[in-house]
Structure 1
Amino acid sequence: MPKNSMKNTSSSGFTLLEILMIIVVIGISSAITVPSWLAFADLQRLKTAQDQVYRAMRQAQSQATKNKLTQQVSFREQDGIVQWAVHLTTVNPSDAMWNNLDPNVRLDEETTLQKSNGIRQIQFDYRGNVRQPPLGRITLSTKSSKSSKSGGKAKRCVYVSTILGAMRTGKEHDKADSNGKYCY
């Protein structure tokens, strides 16, 4: 048999058209999944921040009953980052140890906790009761989320709902409550 007839006539690899089709399919898949992934990530950030706020409030309430001293949980926005601190009411909030929430989370305008000198706060007495009503809530939203029907933001909230210090969490709804708020 001659040497030339043994040449391999098959070619391996992809054609330019096949590679272009793969790139188009990957691009379309990315365009569909990336916005969903970003919305999911924003929602996870909000849930985590909501949990941190809830635990901070419970911590202040627990320390108040344990130490038989009035405790306060304070919230502020510093350089665009929401922060919280649990401290005695005798301690100036600026001297407290502040903890940061996720940088993509912000205090929403639906927040109703009492505000003094730019700091939102609630106090718990030695029995764990709210020391100085009014009661209120912290409402959180993300800076980038566009998933909500109520103004473009997903929302999560933590309520202090009774003077006995009962707390609960809530989330955004499609319809406003009787006060025009979406997070309940």
Structure 2
Amino acid sequence: MEDNQSLNRKANKDAGFTFMELLIVILMVGILSAIAAPSWLAFVNRQRVNKVNERVLSVIQEAQRQAKNKKLSYSVSFRMNDGVPEAAVYKDNKNDNPTQNFQWQSLVGDLGVKPDQIWVGTNLTTENQLGTLSILKDDNKTITFDNQGVLPNDADTNLAIVVAVPDSKNKNNPIEATKRCVKIKTILGALETNKKGAECNHST
């Protein structure tokens, strides 16, 4: 009986992990986390960019749809408002100012994306005119469709709204590899989406 008690005490004494074993487990978890973290971050950033890019596609399609359905010219404008990228769809009227008269909606608001987690740019200069790709600013960048839902004859093609992850060193610059964009490829208003990287950089 006594021998059994001695054996039980010895077994209890030997149970559990040594400090060295715990240290090795912690070290292994740390190494695995360090390997997995960049992949996870890249995945999350890709999801954010794709969500905002889909929202951009949606508002451009809405302007096109309204133009076709109502047989009127419709515009979609993009701007940066206090650091938040926004868009507005409205009936085109040269006397109207979309800053005041139309309902602006955030491109990130209900998507679970913070404005500083995303870079939005465009190669639009004036209405329907192509220029150099740059970050979206507080002036309106506008695409207008005619009453058939196509671009007017004097419009440029390859007009693009570009979404990316901002560079951590300079928030005004995007990380090239993360770029996604929506392009109006032809005068007929054909849209291309999910273009990547350098495919989004077309300008004059």
Q: TM-score range by the shorter chain?
A: 0.7 to 0.9
1:1-184 mapped onto 2 (5 Å cutoff): 1-2=1-2, 6-7=5-6, 8=8, 9-11=10-12, 12-90=15-93, 91-94=96-99, 95-102=101-108, 103=115, 104-108=117-121, 111-115=122-126, 118-131=139-152, 133-135=155-157, 136-144=159-167, 152-153=175-176, 154-173=178-197, 181=201
89-98 or 26-35: bigger deviation: 89-98
Q: Is the 8 A contact 1:39 1:145 kept in 2?
A: no
Show CA shifts across 1:113-143 (max 9, x none): 2347711110111111113512311111112
Deviation at 1:171, TM superposition (A): 2.6
Distance in 1 of aligned mates of 2:4 and 2:201: 82
Q: Is the 8 A contact 2:167 2:175 kept in 1?
A: no
Q: Is the 8 A contact 2:165 2:175 kept in 1?
A: no
Which secondary structure does the structure 2 equivalent of 1:10 belong to? helix
Q: Is the 8 A contact 1:73 1:87 kept in 2?
A: yes
Give the TM-score normalised by structure 2: 0.74
Distance in 2 of aligned mates of 1:81 and 1:44: 18
Deviation at 1:144, TM superposition (A): 4.9
Q: Is the 8 A contact 1:158 1:167 kept in 2?
A: yes
Distance in 1 of aligned mates of 2:35 and 2:164: 24
Give the TM-score normalised by structure 1: 0.81
Which secondary structure does the structure 1 equivalent of 2:192 belong to? strand
Deviation at 1:34, TM superposition (A): 0.7
Report percent identity of matched pairs: 36
**Greater per-residue helix proportion:** 2
Show CA shifts across 1:87-117 (max 9, x none): 1123421132222223222223xx2123477
Cα distance 1:42–1:115, how it changes in 2: closer, same or farther (>3 A)? farther
Deviation at 1:50, TM superposition (A): 1.3
Distance in 1 of aligned mates of 2:107 and 2:19: 49
Which secondary structure does the structure 2 equivalent of 1:112 belong to? strand
Cα distance 1:145–1:53, how it changes in 2: closer, same or farther (>3 A)? farther
Q: Which ranges of structure 1 fall in alignment gaps of 5 or more residues?
A: none
- Code of the aligned partner of 1:165: G
Q: What value does the CA root-mean-square deviation take over the aligned residues? A: 2.7
Q: Is the 8 A contact 1:72 1:121 kept in 2?
A: yes
Deviation at 1:26, TM superposition (A): 0.9
